[in-house]
């Protein structure tokens, strides 16, 4: 069973920030939060992960609440190529994919 809850879909304007929420209220102390995305007909692509601190890399930022029960993935300047299904996953080496959020970036 997926241990995360994400909105099924969201739209975003090109050039604007996209904020993708994820609830993981049953996360345990040693479980990381991972984000992946899957562009149509491709294998999933890693975006970012974190344990308790906020993280940033060249693709995105990850904001984790202090109680670790939810997180937000931020794509700072969305482009049309960011249109994909985004998966929030908590756990260890075995990834359990939920339904994800279908993000559509519109010009």
The site for other proteins (CB under 8 A) is made up of 32, 34, 36, 42-46, 49, 51, 87, 92-100
Distance CA 13, CA 106 (A): 5
CB nearer other proteins, residue 28 or residue 45: 45
What letter does residue 85 receive in the DSSP assignment?
Answer: E
CB of 27 to other proteins, least distance (A): 13
CB nearer other proteins, residue 32 or residue 63: 32
Distance CA 90, CA 68 (A): 11
CB of 97 to other proteins, least distance (A): 4
Query: Is residue 63 a contact partner of residue 48, using CB atoms and an 8 Å limit?
Result: no
């Amino acid at each position: 069973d997926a241990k995360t809850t994400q909105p099924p879909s969201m739209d975003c304007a090109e050039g604007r920030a996209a904020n993708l929420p994820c609830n993981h209220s049953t996360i345990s102390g040693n479980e990381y939060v991972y984000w992946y995305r899957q562009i149509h007909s491709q294998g999933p692509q890693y975006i970012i992960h974190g344990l308790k601190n906020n993280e940033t890399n060249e693709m995105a930022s990850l904001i984790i609440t202090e109680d670790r029960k939810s997180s937000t993935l931020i794509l700072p300047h969305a482009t049309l190529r960011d249109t994909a299904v985004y998966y929030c996953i908590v756990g260890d080496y075995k990834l359990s994919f939920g339904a994800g959020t279908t993000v559509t970036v519109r010009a």
